[in-house]
Amino acid sequence: MNIEEKKIDLISRFIKLKEERAINQLELAITRLEMEERAEDSIRAIDSGNVISLNKFKAEAEEWMIQRRNTK
């Protein structure tokens, strides 16, 4: 079974759940896994030197916000 088939199988199983408690537990587990994956991605980026300074990040974020305001 490839990854896409596994995803579809998990979705099918999720749809069959009836208890809110079970759905909440699954949601928490998925959130934890997503956060772990983001942390691992961040560590890999740091290890490979793919980072920017906080000042550059702030400047880029401010520019993005200005552009966003101007497109509304």
Tens digit of each residue's pLDDT, the chain (72 residues): 899 999 999 999 999 999 999 999 999 999 999 999 999 999 999 999 999 999 999 999 999 999 999 887
The terminus-to-terminus CA distance of the chain in angstroms comes to 45
CA 49 to chain CA mean position, Å = 21
pLDDT of residue 71: 84
Q: What is the DSSP string of the chain?
A: --HHHHHHHHHHHHHH---HHHHHHHHHHHHHHHHHHHHHHHHHHHHTT----HHHHHHHHHHHHHHHHHT-
pTM: 0.64
